[in-house]
Amino acid sequence: MSVFETYAALKKDKFPALLVIFGEEESLVQELKDQFLNDVHFDPTDLSQSFFDLNQADAALAIEELETLPFFSDSKLVIFENCYNLTTDKKIVFDEKQMNRLESFIDAPNPFIQLVMILHGKMDSRLKIVKKLKKKATLLEATKLKRFELINVMSQLFPDLSTPVLNLIVEKSNEQFSMIKQNIALLKTYSAQRTVTVEDVEKVVPKSLQDNIFLLTELVIRGKIEEVRNLVHDLTLQGEDVIKLTAILTNAYRLYYQTKIMQKKGWSESKQTQILKINPYRVKLANQLVKHSPASYFSNALLELIALDHQIKQSVADKFYLFDVTLIKLTLKKH
């Protein structure tokens, strides 16, 4: 169960009196925070709701608010954001006395006060107060979502987007939550009021690293060595390391070899997708790429790339030189 499914269950049953949202996946923490504030209809002018960003707010006032009974309603909500004392971050926002008062509240929560803490980072499990929170509070930890979890979350946030469109957006966004949302916002602006299509995604969303690797292998197979070199140069300028490129290229050629074997057996793309357990879009591209090349080319290329990885790690020669030589070999072997 993803953190968003857990959140949805909490929302349905009524949010607990003591809730902690935390984690190292910053974009997910921010999304959970935004959803919570929206779901409780947070209004800064509402005297029954208080929000303290402890990066800026008066810590003494925050603790005092936590200890003060509600005056204008039967209950009140107090939100603390960036309580660094509870995380592995070295920064301190509450002094020792204030931390003792916070701990006292956790030991004996006021039934009329709901406390929600939003922490951008990992909680420090060594601390006594954190151990108490783990026992007494409901914890929502923002951890990296798996691909199917990303699809599920995005389909709930954007029900108007079709599954093929979402699959492609996730693929082209390198499965990064914040990038997916940015690209969806871009597509919504581009498409205005009409339905977003796969063609829109192809046209509008910037090329991902996987897209560039596909283009790189396509250029190699077509024998366009100068264009291959230019693309590698652009990727390294963008901060991509040769070792990382080698690893991704090796995985790509492994996929192409597997696809070619299944293609020769006459298997459909849908069956290949079930076997490979990857995005149908990648299977489609792989089938297009391997169609006119023998399986022996991809098996030999795979061996070359495995050898390259070993040579780079053994520092046989300059890694850029080794990478360049291997790409030339792959180009020559194809022709």
- Provide CB contacts within 8 A for 223, sequence distance 6+: 331, 334, 335
Tell me the per-residue pLDDT of 122-138, one tens digit each, with 9 for 90 and over.
999 999 999 999 999 99
Q: Does 160 share its domain with 85?
A: no
Domain that holds residue 170: 147-204
Residue 334 has what pLDDT? Answer: 60
Q: Does 63 share its domain with 164?
A: no
Q: Does 114 share its domain with 156?
A: no
Give the CATH number, domain containing residue 222: 1.20.272.10
Q: Does 122 share its domain with 97?
A: yes
At 264 the three-state DSSP class reads helix
Q: Could you say which of 204, 226, 246 is where a domain stops?
A: 204
Q: What is the pTM of this model?
A: 0.73
pLDDT at 335 over 70: no
Q: Does 200 share its domain with 213?
A: no
At 238 the three-state DSSP class reads coil
Q: Does 7 share its domain with 137?
A: yes
Number of domains in the chain: 3
Tell me the per-residue pLDDT of 229-286, one tens digit each, with 9 for 90 and over.
889 888 888 888 899 999 989 998 999 999 999 999 999 999 998 898 887 878 888 9
Q: Could you say which of 141, 161, 187 is where a domain stops?
A: 141
Q: How far apart are CA 242 and CA 236, in angstroms?
A: 7
Give the CATH number, domain containing residue 44: 3.40.50.300
Q: Does 227 share its domain with 284?
A: yes
Q: Could you say which of 115, 141, 167 is where a domain stops?
A: 141
Q: How far apart are CA 155 and CA 28, in angstroms?
A: 16
Q: Does 79 share its domain with 34?
A: yes
Q: Does 28 share its domain with 62?
A: yes
How far from chain centre, in Å, is Cα 55?
25
Q: How far apart are CA 233 and CA 248, in angstroms?
A: 16
Q: How far apart are CA 147 and CA 98, in angstroms?
A: 42
Tell me the per-residue pLDDT of 169-224, one tens digit each, with 9 for 90 and over.
998 888 889 999 999 999 999 988 899 999 999 889 887 777 888 888 889 888 88
